[in-house]
Amino acid sequence: MMKNDLPLTKDLVLIGGGHTHALVLRMWGMKPLPGVRVTVINPAPTAPYSGMLPGFVAGHYTKDDLDIDLVKLARFAGARIILGRVTQIDREARTVTVPGRPPIPYDIASIDVGITTEMPELAGFADHGVPAKPLDTFAARWEAYRAKAKAPKIAVIGAGVAGGELAMAMAHALRGRKPRVRLIDRGTAFAQFNDRARALMVQSLADLGVELIENAEVAQVTSAGVELVNGTVIEAEFVTGVAGPRPHRWLSDLGLKTYDGSLSVGPTLVTSDPHLFAAGDCAYMAHAPRPKAGVFAVRQAPVLFHNLRAALSGGDLRGYFPQTDYLKLVSLGGQIAMAEKLGTAVKGSLLWQWKDRIDRKFMQKFKDLPVMANPKLPSQVASGVAEELGDAPLCGGCGAKVGRGALRDALTHLPQLDRADIQSVRGDDAAVIQGAEGWQVMTTDHLRAFTNDPRLMTQLAAVHALGDIWAMGAAPSLATVSVILPRMSKELQRRTMAEVTEAAAQVMETAGAAIVGGHSSIGSEFTVGFTLIGTSPTRPITLAGGQPGDALILTKPIGSGVLMAGEMRGQAKGSDVAEAYRQMSQPQAIASRILTPVARAMTDVTGFGLAGHLDGICEASGTGAELELAQIPTLKGAEDLAKLGVRSTIWADNRGGIPLVTGPQGPRFDLLFDPQTAGGLLAVVPAHLAQETVDALKLAGYPAATIGHLTEAEGIRAR
């Protein structure tokens, strides 16, 4: 939840990232409704565009061409995105269930989850077949098969338009490998077309060598291929199905009015529940029944956008009335297409070019999102305000921390510690306290939000704060929570605090720490933090203790700062951001237990970057260090963003604060100064124990690596 000048009072939840919802999110970014918190829920960070799927299968488009980046789109719309699959909606409580997290409340919700081509009633299909929808799963399976197939044998079940397009696209993509592609239908192929259009489709199949098998009932799918009721076995290595696309089964459990499993809606796209809308292929327009087609989903978007705003603000709804006929452009394998409308059908390469332009223009709407102008400064401001603001938004997480230089200068003015029970020195990850019954470590860490999901942000902040305890080889024991919420209604406060406390309790309980208190307040933006106490039976590990020749082990990849900065600016790929969140969410408890018996010094890599925290070890240990840049693990997409010049807010301070760092200039070198949130542990271990320690970490699920060693020479040298 980023800064919002007006109080939040309503929750809008968009279930599914279908074409209608994608367009609604784009419109919302252009014209948001103040006071509304938007959530979009989708199983994946991207949503493939069905209109370009045959072209992707044929090899005309890349996966990036095909994908709508929902993470980027959600950021543009000011929405949070939850990656998960909805399994239930409680209409009475007005909550949405996504496994693995608490119910998500809504005031108004909309459903656009498309349809599925899974065939659970067909024996063997779940084990040996690949449904054409959901598209993201199909695309991944097809890419893998296309890369390895030597003598391709493919069977497509269902000879409608979608099945025909896929069969021809596959034949075209594999044309140099003599593929054998069979298209199977229980009745007559392309029965929805007139004679002319059907003849063109059949001839196009024949031109590509696709064998059409009609009036053939499928009995089962096996590892050998497709077995028909008459006993015939059609050999196939890749079996897909587009026969009988149907709504997702959970929609029938909502108690709403349906038609053949689809949610029945009227002109306003409202279901039989006034708080639930539906659009796209999962909706049945009772007032104007039409076949499933993307054109209707696209044209529903402006009406849905208007009506969602109206429902949330007390306005009037308006209706959507689709045209009776529409132009159908069908891909025919190569760069050729058929057009059918009003009983007329023609085909040719110019039609494919036309379709290509239409599809690319549609996708360009999501790839080139308008850059929203920064608010204008007052006509008169103090000198330096514009320079301090810069041209990029303030980062969240560790990217928003005070620079190392300013912090160290401030700490030098604090009174010197003169207590026998305090054993730590300034710069250690946590305060070290010696008591009568052992050792304690104490730390505090608070983060400005960089994601609009309070639950995810709380998880990351908890793992981040615990890093100081784990870095000292201690066990977390007690925690207090501090939360600042942006202005919102009492009901949204209740909802948000429920998410925050659940996430905090889950992470802390797993870590072995009890939450014993906390503090909350209302402010300008969401901030969350933790104060922690840990215990250790022996003296905790500090920054001091490393020796020249010792190996440096890193347990997590770096690059989260540049990825979060890139995500805020709409430059990072959604899939890369999702993977970064997954890595950042990984607790370091097991890694700490593996490293503690062998580590001579240890820290966690956070706001000052890898170079800054390594410099702390070198300073405390009286050593220098040498890094192998090629061995340092980085998050996917981080180097690409660094190459583009994307930097976190604190990057310049981190770079300027460590003058004795040398090495080959470039994006990987720049990432040494990238601030990390919930980063990995950096441990100094005897060289002869490095490999077995890394092996143990990898076995425990950490992408650990030996990245260099300590030296006698002063400074840090990267090579």
Catalytic residues: 398
Q: Closest by alpha carbon to 575, among 143, 148, 43, 39?
A: 43
Q: How far apart are CA 655 and CA 270, in angstroms?
A: 55
Strand, helix or coil for residue 554: strand
Q: How far apart are CA 278 and CA 35, in angstroms?
A: 23
- DSSP classification of residue 663: -
Q: How far apart are CA 615 and CA 610, in angstroms?
A: 8
- What are the backbone dihedrals phi and psi of residue 174, each rounded to the nearest 5 degrees, phi first? -105, 20
Q: Is the torsion defined by CA of 83, 87, 90, 91 positive or negative?
A: positive
Contact indicator for 210, 165 with CB cutoff of 8 Å: no
Q: Closest by alpha carbon to 496, among 6, 4, 11?
A: 11
Q: Closest by alpha carbon to 84, among 104, 67, 110?
A: 104
Contact indicator for 326, 47 with CB cutoff of 8 Å: no
Please list the residues that pair with 5 across neighbouring strands.
none
Give CA angle at 626 (598, 428), nearest 5°. 55
Q: How far apart are CA 36 and CA 5, in angstroms?
A: 12
Q: How far apart are CA 623 and CA 710, in angstroms?
A: 6
- Give the amino acid at 687: A
Contact indicator for 37, 1 with CB cutoff of 8 Å: yes
Q: How far apart are CA 27 and CA 690, in angstroms?
A: 53
571 CB burial (10 A radius; 0-12, 13-18, 19+): middle
Contact indicator for 54, 166 with CB cutoff of 8 Å: yes
Give the helix/strand (H/E) hosting 603: strand 601-604
Q: How far apart are CA 296 and CA 294, in angstroms?
A: 5
Quick check: bond before 134 cis, omega within 30? Answer: yes
Query: Which tokens belong to 569?
Result: 């600016």
Residues 6+ apart with CB under 8 A from 252: 258, 261
Task: Indicate the pairing of strand 80-83 with strand 36-42.
Answer: parallel
Residues 6+ apart with CB under 8 A from 675: 395, 397, 398, 399, 401, 561, 606, 607, 608, 609, 648, 650, 651, 654
- Give the amino acid at 296: F
CA dihedral of 413, 418, 421, 426, whole degrees rounded to 10: 30
- DSSP classification of residue 541: P
Strand, helix or coil for residue 661: strand
Query: DSSP states of 165-216 as a string?
Result: HHHHHHHHHTGGG--EEEEE-SS-TTTTS-HHHHHHHHHHHHHTTPEEE-S-
Q: How far apart are CA 496 and CA 291, in angstroms?
A: 41
Q: In which residue are the tokens 């925290």 written?
A: 613
